Structure 1
Amino acid sequence: MLQLQSAFGVIALLAIAWAFGENRRAVSPKQTAIGLVVTILTAIVLIKLPFVTRAFGAINDAVGAIAAASRAGTSFVFGYLGGGALPFDLKAPGADFILAFQALPVVLIMSALTTLLFYWRVLPPVVRGMAWLLERTLGVGGAVGLSTAANIFLGMVEAPLFIRPYLAQLTRSELFLVMTGGMAGIAGTVLVLYATLLAPLIPDAAAHFVIASVLGAPAAILVSLIMVPETSDKRTGGALEDPDMHVSSTMDAIVKGTTAGLELLLNIVAMLIVLVALVHLVNAILGLLPDLGGAAISLQRLLGYAMAPVCWLMGLPWPQAITAGSLMGTKTVLNELIAYVDLSKLGPDALDPRSRLIMLYAMCGFANFGSLGIMIGGLGTMAPERRDDINSLGLKSIVSGTLTTCLIGAIVGMLS
């Protein structure tokens, strides 16, 4: 029954996307059907086929090796604060884990590795292959296909750098597709971090995050073309060049990748401190109101009620939907890292293993208000002549990104 519930949720979420869209009559039923079939078939191939599962198991081992390497560095620099041997007996299990010194520094390693792989020309051919596949199967232009494929590995600002010369030429629908792709995915620099957080709860968490990133490409195209359908015959593409990384050597790539990672790491730490503090202040204000249902009113509870129906549509039992809704609300208003941290702290009775897996996929995206500011600033700088379009599509991209990840969660629910 829960799988049928997820199947109903797939249709319902697409209907919600259509309701939030513009120019609804221009939506192509054929393209929508092809997009849905491609997304579901991709999910089946990635999740159900044994040899693919084994391949992603190897990826999981590689991610584990990266996490172990990061732990080696942090324990050398920070000692037991960074995961080294404790100089005292541990009184409470888990009390030795310090987020800032043990989990977050993996961002530095991934940033340096990503820059290296681009300099060595390892990642660009992979991205180009994905762009070709998206163009042939879903009919999108080569430029937006390349940007959407790059979102599998890169963030919402880094991926459009691949097509920076084409941004001014994109149609409104193509521009929205680029924005949705950014909101519906996560960067490789934080994938290992999230996998590290959820590894104790979800088997092969890293493999599932990689699968979620890959599924985000066709799902983002599907949802964006429903919300802002293409009305022009134009498809932006052509001879696309690899982005200039401004790197002159392997050591230069390591240095510049580490420097960029440090900036990202500091931003993550600062945003976490501020956002958690602001949520605490909001809850303190809400706590002045009379209790509701025998408990104090909090932002998490309010968001939980608002997002619970969406979580039910993904295939979660209703008693667990409010808890899951709170996670989705936290992810949307704050960011996905805080939501994943909250998920990692939930007891076994809050969400069953299937629900945890669905929520891993549903929260795997950058669709939040902080990311919107980053995207508008980045795209507006790269294509100043398109600022009006970018600003007008901003809030809609949060909706499309959220619906995309929820759609992936519902598809995973169908297959679980």
Structure 2
Amino acid sequence: MIGVACGTPASETGTIPQRLQSIGGVIVMTAILVAFSRDRKNIPWGTVVVGFWLQFLMALFILKTQLGVDIFYFISQLITTFLGESNAGLEFVLGSTVTNPFKDTFVVSVLPAILFFVAFISIIYYIGGMQYVVEKFAWVMVRLMNTSGAESVVAAASPFVGQGESALLVKPFIEFMTRSELHSAMVSGFSTIAGSVLIAYINYTGNNPTSTSTLLASCLMSVPCSLMVSKIIYPEVEESITKGTVTVPEAEEKDANLLDAASKGAAIGVQLCLLITGSLLAIISLYACANDLVGWAFNMISVSNWIDASQPVSIQLLLSYIFWPIAVCVGIPVGDARKSAEFMATKVVVNEFVAYANLHDYAFLANATADGSYVSNGAFGLRTIRLLAFALCGFANIGSIGIQTSILGHIAPSRKRDLAELALSAMLTGAFSTWISAAVAGAIL
């Protein structure tokens, strides 16, 4: 990694000192995880080393080799075009998206793509394509990282489906998972995003091939990284019933045909869209209320915002000083680190939707170009924008704890106590997984 960092000429995405800063950050964040491990003597260092190498090689291939750049440029174009197919249904329901006055709103620009993607994934599940991809990916993880089949399947599925939903692939095994496996399954859900919301984050980070390949790299790197960091914090000391095996059980209720699969997927998509919309409305409103209370409290003691006197003191401003060292460890230039830490704090306290939206409002021009992409306004350099895209790319936030414990607790009622005890640790570990992936990318960019 050091050889790549020092051997790559300086560019707008990184200089040699900045890359070495990211490598130092990887070491520091790993040391923090080791310090808080539940059983340092049983940390599987082979799994840790392989996990580091896998995510490094993924990042190197996707971000630096010409073949990787070309492949993921093609994939990014394919994804953009594919998710854009949702406009056909949107135009039928609401009229032309070109003249629609709400075309740039979250409801119109993001939710239709989510609904379309979920319906499509349901069809892929019906024909067995998703199970095949997940099994092959999980098989690699089992062989290389020596993890169990159940936790590897969950990790492999997490970038494609949502947190909690990935665990449904191994539903019969959840009841019998070891505590380490449960922790790993939850970390996998927290450390990445679902494919259904990818289009939203692509829009928020520039809506161009670079932003798409960055987010795709983050999603793929999260698979080995989530397993790696989970095994540092919660090493396996029990015997797993799926050790060395990779099996995705058949669904209990098989869809009748493609149309049935699509319609059920659409119904799930509607529920997901309502959940996202309702959660965002409630969480953002509550966060705004809390921010106003904080601003009022500081105003009562005659303390104004020391960064921008025109703005009140806010929660994200206060938390930015806690997250500032993490932003530096990721490899973000020191001059951008304090402001970047605000977005990282918002992601953990509120959610990644709000963090990405705030990043977009701060770092990009208001109007999209003719091809639909957004241009940086110069507030952040390209390195900061790309590393923030990595650092925010995960479901690790306080609200997601309730989502995961509810879904997994419904699947395995007898494990509710274990899930409640592991949830906070898994969320924080998932956040570290995302940050370490960002730092590994920072060592290469």
- TM-score range for the pair, normalised by the shorter chain length: over 0.9
Name the residue aligned to 1:251.
259
**Following superposition of structure 1 onto structure 2, how do residues 167-246 of structure 1 map, counting pairs within 5 Å?**
167-200=174-207, 203-234=209-240, 236-237=242-243, 238=245, 239-244=247-252, 246=254
**Following superposition of structure 1 onto structure 2, how do residues 50-69 of structure 1 map, counting pairs within 5 Å?**
50-69=66-85
**Following superposition of structure 1 onto structure 2, how do residues 45-124 of structure 1 map, counting pairs within 5 Å?**
45-79=61-95, 83-85=97-99, 97-124=104-131
Name the residue aligned to 2:367.
none
Conserved? CA contact 1:327–1:342, under 8 Å: yes
Q: CA deviation at 1:45?
A: 2.3
Q: Please state if 1:138 is matched with 2:145.
A: yes
3-state SS of 1:176 partner = helix
TM-score normalised by length of structure 1: 0.93
Aligned match for 2:136, one of 129, 153, 177: 129
Name the residue aligned to 1:365.
394
Moved more, 66-75 or 235-244: 235-244
Q: Please state if 1:406 is matched with 2:435.
A: yes
Structure 1 unaligned spans of 5+: 88-94
Moved more, 146-155 or 239-248: 239-248
Aligned length: 406
Q: CA deviation at 1:253?
A: 1.2
RMSD: 1.8
User: Distance in 1 between the 2:44 and 2:276 partners?
Assistant: 40
Which contiguous aligned blocks of 4+ residues in structure 1 show a shift greater than 4 angstroms?
Answer: none
Moved more, 185-194 or 30-39: 30-39
Q: Please state if 1:277 is matched with 2:285.
A: yes
Conserved? CA contact 2:324–2:338, under 8 Å: yes
Q: CA deviation at 1:118?
A: 0.8
Q: CA deviation at 1:233?
A: 4.9
Q: CA deviation at 1:165?
A: 1.1
3-state SS of 1:191 partner = helix
Q: Please state if 1:308 is matched with 2:324.
A: yes
3-state SS of 1:321 partner = helix
Conserved? CA contact 1:181–1:220, under 8 Å: yes
Name the residue aligned to 1:92.
none
User: Distance in 1 between the 2:217 and 2:100 partners?
Assistant: 36
Aligned match for 1:7, one of 23, 35, 39: 23
Conserved? CA contact 1:43–1:411, under 8 Å: yes
Q: Please state if 1:355 is matched with 2:412.
A: no
User: Distance in 2 between the 1:322 and 1:76 partners?
Assistant: 45
Conserved? CA contact 1:39–1:219, under 8 Å: yes
Q: CA deviation at 1:323?
A: 1.3
User: Distance in 1 between the 2:288 and 2:159 partners?
Assistant: 33
Conserved? CA contact 2:58–2:217, under 8 Å: no
Write the letter of the residue equivalent to 1:333: V
Q: CA deviation at 1:86?
A: 5.7
User: Distance in 2 between the 1:150 and 1:75 partners?
Assistant: 32
Q: CA deviation at 1:198?
A: 2.3
Conserved? CA contact 1:314–1:410, under 8 Å: yes
Conserved? CA contact 2:178–2:239, under 8 Å: no
Conserved? CA contact 1:323–1:350, under 8 Å: no
3-state SS of 1:169 partner = coil
Q: CA deviation at 1:413?
A: 0.5
3-state SS of 1:105 partner = helix
User: Distance in 2 between the 1:253 and 1:142 partners?
Assistant: 27
Structure 2 unaligned spans of 5+: 1-16, 364-376
User: Distance in 2 between the 1:246 and 1:234 partners?
Assistant: 28
How high is the sequence identity, in percent, across the aligned residues? Answer: 29
TM-score normalised by length of structure 2: 0.87
User: Distance in 1 between the 2:40 and 2:211 partners?
Assistant: 38
List per-residue Cα deviations over 1:105-136 (Å, max 9, x = no partner). 21111110111111121121111110100001
Q: CA deviation at 1:244?
A: 4.1
Q: CA deviation at 1:235?
A: 5.6
Conserved? CA contact 1:74–1:102, under 8 Å: no
